[in-house]
Structure 1
């Protein structure tokens, strides 16, 4: 049954937006660099049924999405928002400027950016959000505890590590001399275990290892062994997820810490990914020049040591803070790497593995992407190989809560050979407003850097909103 048309608040919001243009979905093909791998598996020329998909959005969510998309598509609105979020995210703000303690600032952020991209500040709020997403048809959620550390390469500073590290640096003392690291690790461990309690067997736990504090980030930065308390915490978390059949996506983070994170996660795979179903996934960022070779090294380890490689592929979200020379020169280069890895994994042909080369190791693939051509090409290739009996790998798809709903619902509208929908997930985070600020800032930056996608989203949302408005006056 179709949802009732929106009421007056949505009408007022629509009037505040620019004149609407009906969204048109046209056939799209991937970048020319990856054309040789994509053209033989091009997506169907039938347009994605975006309008009917967005009809699953409740009126309140549609209205908020329309507001955020409008802000994100207008630089004169988005840039001030970015500056404000960046300012508020710095540590040591006074009570007047605290997002947790100033009720006015808290309310504005909560009703806009926070509710759009985050699941909740409490367990109750988070459980309600998870239920709402599953009721809309998603296979499950990807949930993370918000606490993390971000290293800004330009300013050489870390944000989100807590006052202990800041005070320690000011005194010129080594990080190890502060007696609060154990508390930092324990707080992160408890928050992560609490997150697992919110999840079911169809869900993923996303883990930000830098949230464990200064001792851990220092070890990652120097590529030294983690403290035993941290390795014990990781084993406890992974064991609990294994018992509950919840899979773990270890997030990619600032490049200063990433090599240590990759090694730590690979060791967890060696221990917990002993069956064909991966429990632990590493996150590989396609925008890094080193990613293709890193994946091949990890595939070699999986092949020799007989474990399943959990491969989560993203484009990358730290372009504003990571060293620019480590990142591909153009978006087209990043797109080419992403598509080549994704389609290569689905064909079981990457580098020296597969085809006429060495046997392809066991791989479970998760594609986190808001790029419609990439997602559709991957799904089409996966289904075509299943239909003709060619080997492939298990694959799931994920988009962030509050972003690319037309892609998510479009995927849900596609039926597979067995009549089921693709495995589509929404990724979110939970925690206090201050803990989520770094996450919110990255979402705003992503919207700024993806102008064409944001424009498409805005057009799709406008089209759906006008469809509902017409329903107020036109009988079926």
Structure 2
């Protein structure tokens, strides 16, 4: 039974898969990202350079893109997938291109997701596929439906098609023995997403967790929503799949709430978010016989907590009901240490043409500057490993 906390300062294990040259690139990226003003200026300058067609794509690819993305296409990601797999870290391929917001664009995103399923089915290192409903249907219509506004017959049909796209992808993934994560998005259409996710679970999670809904614990109502979802799953006789994250739209949520004059759905302090996140882990582990969980976290304390809960319940590190997940290029000290100890670990591996994943990359940079100490922590670990290698 585990009693000693896991040592997440083990940089030799964390960066065994990285060359010193790659670490120096990471050192540059995180030192830049730790300065919010540099991120803002860099974002504006890069957008301007691309607009006037300056040759900056190569610079972006060698820095931000190589740090946080697996490649420009599914095939391009093969090297990253193998590298991670060689160190017992699984891959979750994430097509991070924000497509056209029309029916053709949504169908193109669906077809790309189906290609990911086909590829994943031939690769032992890809247990999950991931879907973002905003890429498969109109968020304006989802928002309208959630707010109980009257929909026209055409609008109802479009939302039906959006759900059918999800169903087509999940059906194929399920038949291949894969699992599907449905990402969380903004609160004003999240309940619509939840409805789709639970209908998919009711259909496909009868024998095992196939579909995982995402719970953003920075929302003050989310722990209760998770508990209600678990009760409903038991009543309706399916397994609940839960991906637990802290959240990714904090500023946007608060700004909209203030602008529209309603109470913000976001917790007031990070301490309360951390408390709810850890409570959600305890709740899920209490009901693990009827659940599958993925702890999407860059938090060392929460990672240690889940490992301890597994040990307390005498659950094997390799139990396939429980995964840890982090983003590619971040928290390697957590991912590779846990993988080295035999836990199920997966990295989100975004991909897409460089110029088309820039919105994702800029958002990632901005999030890193807003997460207290995240860039600083990454920077310190990389610096420590470079120093260790130099003195070895």
For the aligned pair, the TM-score class normalised by the smaller chain equals: 0.7 to 0.9
Higher share of residues assigned helix: 2
Q: Deviations over 1:422-448 (max 9, x none)?
A: 001111211123432232122112211
Q: Deviations over 1:43-102 (max 9, x none)?
A: 6156345122134132143222222121122344334235556xx3xxxx8xx634xx93
1:107 to 34, 44, 58: 58
2:354 to 433, 442, 462: 433
- 1:97 equivalent to 2:58? Answer no
Q: For the structure 1 residues 64 and 241, does the alpha-carbon distance in structure 2 shift closer, same or farther, using more than 3 Å as the test? A: same
Name the SS for the 1:444 alignment partner. helix
- 1:51 equivalent to 2:11? Answer yes
Name the SS for the 1:370 alignment partner. coil
2:68 and 2:349 in contact (8 A); partners too: yes
- In structure 2, C-alpha distance between the alignment counterparts of 1:125 and 1:361, rounded to whole Å: 38
CA drift at 1:285: 0.1
2:182 to 250, 257, 261: 250
- In structure 2, C-alpha distance between the alignment counterparts of 1:341 and 1:442, rounded to whole Å: 26
CA RMSD in angstroms comes to 2.5
2:151 — aligned with what? none
Name the SS for the 2:292 alignment partner. strand
- In structure 2, C-alpha distance between the alignment counterparts of 1:238 and 1:383, rounded to whole Å: 32
2:94 to 131, 137, 144: 144
1:303 — aligned with what? 234
1:223 — aligned with what? 145
- In structure 1, C-alpha distance between the alignment counterparts of 2:186 and 2:356, rounded to whole Å: 17
Gaps of 5+ in 1: 1-40, 149-159, 163-180, 349-359, 415-420, 472-476
282-291 or 252-261, which deviates more: 252-261
- In structure 2, C-alpha distance between the alignment counterparts of 1:447 and 1:84, rounded to whole Å: 19
CA drift at 1:134: 1.2
After superposition, residues 158-307 of structure 1 pair within 5 angstroms as 161-162=100-101, 181-199=102-120, 200=123, 202-213=126-137, 216-223=138-145, 227-275=159-207, 277-307=208-238
CA drift at 1:119: 1.5
Q: For the structure 1 residues 435 and 97, does the alpha-carbon distance in structure 2 shift closer, same or farther, using more than 3 Å as the test? A: closer
- In structure 1, C-alpha distance between the alignment counterparts of 2:140 and 2:5, rounded to whole Å: 51
1:122 to 64, 73, 86: 73
After superposition, residues 19-30 of structure 1 pair within 5 angstroms as none
- In structure 1, C-alpha distance between the alignment counterparts of 2:31 and 2:3, rounded to whole Å: 29
Name the SS for the 1:386 alignment partner. coil
CA drift at 1:468: 1.5
1:131 to 82, 104, 129: 82
Q: Deviations over 1:5-64 (max 9, x none)?
A: xxxxxxxxxxxxxxxxxxxxxxxxxxxxxxxxxxxx996156345122134132143222
Gaps of 5+ in 2: 147-155, 256-263
Count of residues paired in the alignment: 368
Q: For the structure 1 residues 243 and 77, does the alpha-carbon distance in structure 2 shift closer, same or farther, using more than 3 Å as the test? A: same
1:145 and 1:208 in contact (8 A); partners too: no
Q: Deviations over 1:275-328 (max 9, x none)?
A: 1x2110000000011212211221122011000000100000111222351100
1:223 and 1:259 in contact (8 A); partners too: no
- In structure 2, C-alpha distance between the alignment counterparts of 1:436 and 1:336, rounded to whole Å: 33
1:207 and 1:248 in contact (8 A); partners too: yes
2:249 — aligned with what? 318
1:269 and 1:307 in contact (8 A); partners too: yes
CA drift at 1:470: 2.1
Q: For the structure 1 residues 307 and 251, does the alpha-carbon distance in structure 2 shift closer, same or farther, using more than 3 Å as the test? A: same
2:331 — aligned with what? 404
- In structure 1, C-alpha distance between the alignment counterparts of 2:250 and 2:56, rounded to whole Å: 27
1:351 — aligned with what? none
Name the SS for the 2:314 alignment partner. helix
Q: Deviations over 1:376-434 (max 9, x none)?
A: 111111122116x9xx99210000001111111221233xxxxxx00011112111234
- 1:422 equivalent to 2:343? Answer yes
1:147 and 1:431 in contact (8 A); partners too: yes
After superposition, residues 325-474 of structure 1 pair within 5 angstroms as 325-348=264-287, 362-386=290-314, 394-414=321-341, 421-471=342-392
CA drift at 1:122: 2.0
